[in-house]
A and B are shown apart, each in its own frame.
Chain A
């Protein structure tokens, strides 16, 4: 019995795999079916997680540990639903303000230190080869592309015109490299799917 269920599972999985691959061929109901399945399941899985978080963390802490403060996020969460009312829609701004405050605070707090300074630090540490010096110079050149507040004359005649163009060239080398490097990883995933279709489903091996 268990074998049959697994075997059916493999056939269903294979069928869905082919439905998704039908996408570039043309607008087929097959892809549409897989798409609606996937959205339904995706939403179900995240909703279950959300409801469990509300019940286990917030309601659970109030009921079991008497931590009344958890009522605040519950009320704020409920306030999101006021968007559907005309009269109380203003209330939905409060929870959003909290979320945005956390997001902005987290990013402003850490990014200067963890991204900005960390990148500079690792660039100017132990510059003892030509390549390391070149790396640093290329970074400076590329940054000039991102300078927005430059007068018109300088932009058209001055040094910035050349450096920002050079900066774009450095970026193009980078984008080509990232693109080319990602192909292998994507092929590896596709090879994994083909292994499934050829050997687990069709049992050609």
Chain B
């Protein structure tokens, strides 16, 4: 017993991973899962299109979470969006400015730019002066992003990743610059500001789903269906727990504490 801590957590993790793996297996067999399209995805295309028409650059930033912290999934999901946006921008031949807080993403972003320019067969699109490290101090980063938004007037700005208070600085500065903005974050405390200011916001889990959608890969889409199993599990646990607790029983709570 004492060998394993958080047994209920481990069991839940196994169930969720099992569900995701099962859905991936199904997809490999050719059985596609129907998955709702998140509206924000279309808005991303629209914003890039608008930039192209106006001949103005696109801006993207991926927030504060380092790759080795528990916020890493948000940064990885944000980078998937970046990869997609880079390819589109290279195809359309408009510059993409990436502002960076997490320095270990610099080599990754460089590689994504290179890949985008190769796919679009326009080597001249690759310009690594558009990949701008703005320091790993929050408000230095914020001033840098503000400067880019104010002076280079991007017509589209994507804020995808984990943010803190500077989220609103970016969103308002982007608004002042006249950019169409799409944001995505799992940081609950900042979602309200994105919802209030940006043209579209990927709420929490939708950010993770976005990466899989944009990959257009059936296997990745299947994993989204898999993660829904965990949500059904949560709903069942909540419902049963509510009823039991209202009847005065702590049975479920005690099990979940194991």
Write the residues of chain A forming the contact surface with B, with a CB cutoff of 8 angstroms. 20, 23-24, 27, 31-32, 34-35, 38-39, 41-43, 45-46, 80, 83, 89, 92, 95-96, 99-100, 102-104, 106-108, 110-114, 116-117, 120-121, 123-128, 133, 136-137, 139-140, 143-144, 146-152, 155, 171-172, 174-176, 178-179, 182
Contacts and interface: CB of A to CB of B under 8 A. Distances in A.
A150 B173 CA distance: 37
A140 B239 contact: yes
A175 B246 contact: no
B144 A124 contact: no
B67 A146 contact: no
B70 interface: yes
B252 A38 contact: no
B143 A113 contact: no
B183 to A, nearest CB: 13
Contact of B144 (A39, A136, A174): A39
Contacts of A80: 104, 107
Contacts of B224: 148-149
Given A34-B143, A124-B242, A136-B242, A100 B137 contact: no
Chain B: interface size category:
35 or more
B76 interface: yes
Given A149-B33, A149-B35, A178 B189 contact: yes
Contacts, number: 201
B54 interface: no
A128 B242 CA distance: 10
Contact of B246 (A123, A133, A143, A144): A133
The main secondary structure of chain B at its interface with chain A is helix
A179 B69 CA distance: 27
Nearest to A79: B107
Nearest to B38: A148
B43 interface: no
B175 to A, nearest CB: 11
A134 to B, nearest CB: 10
B107 A92 contact: yes
Interface stretch (B90-98, B118-126, B201-209): B201-209
A35 B12 CA distance: 47
Nearest to A86: B114
A42 B36 contact: no
Contacts of A23: 146, 150, 173
25 contacts: A23-B146, A23-B173, A31-B143, A39-B143, A41-B140, A43-B136, A96-B104, A100-B68, A103-B71, A104-B73, A107-B72, A112-B9, A113-B12, A123-B241, A124-B245, A127-B245, A127-B246, A137-B242, A140-B239, A146-B231, A149-B34, A152-B34, A174-B192, A176-B192, A179-B192
A146 B135 contact: no
